[in-house]
Amino acid sequence: MEEVAYAKINLALHVRDKRPDGYHRIETIFAFAEDGDRLSVGESEALRLEVGGPFAAALEGKNLVLRAAEALRARFDVRHGAALFLDKRLPVASGIGGGSADAAAALRLLGRWWGLGASEAELLSIAASIGADVPACLRSRTAIGKERGDELEPVKGEGLSRTPLLLVNPTVPVSTAAVFAGWDGADRGPLLDAEPLEAALSGRNDLQDPALKVAPTIANVLAALAEDANPIIVRMSGSGATCFALYGNETDRDRAACRIAAEHPRWWLLATCLR
């Protein structure tokens, strides 16, 4: 069996304040690409994980896939093992939910592999214990995230499914903790209560300025994406350094991807669509 760990983007990300538990209270619009890492499973008496793919070397030690697998096994008292293989295609520490998406994929995949019949509510409870973005990644559908990002609300309207999307990363890892630590503490207001694209266009990413201080090259990525007149929106995702653009058609997306790849051959690009 195989499962896709769908890349996550934040169409907008508003940081409202800091909670007493140390987390930040946010309002964000989650959306997901059709592509991402790949997680597969086979028979094994023990629970084990092998990592390959272009970004395998960037992962060190025990990652969220095994943590999710162990939490699921403990919750349902599973005595079986599983041989997991993670094809790591997304950059690490890049603001597109790679680790969270991998953990969510493990929950979905092993729930089927072990025949658990787990409800979404049960899986969401486990997901929330692993990380703030894991519940959204478990569903991997456009949604509003509040508080830590784990309180999910459905979006208004028909959503953005099949909207052409281009992801670009300058291959510079960015520490989420460092970016949040650089937030200036100013509450610039809530998300607009509207359909996802309208809310995103009127919104912002409050982590973009502190991320630019950590990785100034993010400005180059944003400028490269904005160079064409055709993007619907250009913005940084999460805490960076990945930035994205949405397009009205695949031709405009592919033209931008070809230009950026030629001008910046060391950057990582993914031309895809929203789910």
Catalytic residues: 8, 133
The alpha-carbon radius of gyration of the chain (Å, integer) is 18
The residues facing 103 across adjacent strands are none
174 SS3 class: coil
The H or E element spanning position 74 is helix 64-75
Measured CA to CA, the distance from residue 165 to residue 160 in angstroms comes to 10
Which amino acid appears at position 260 of this protein? I
Which amino acid appears at position 83 of this protein? A
50 SS3 class: strand
Whether residue 74 has a cis bond before it, omega within 30° of 0: no
Which amino acid appears at position 31 of this protein? A
Question: Are the C-beta atoms of residues 180 and 206 closer than 8 Å to each other?
Answer: no
Backbone angles phi, psi at 137, to 5 degrees: -70, -30
Structure-token pair, residue 39:
């997680």
Structure-token pair, residue 247:
């397009």
- Distance between terminal CA atoms of the chain? 21
Question: Are the C-beta atoms of residues 77 and 38 closer than 8 Å to each other?
Answer: no
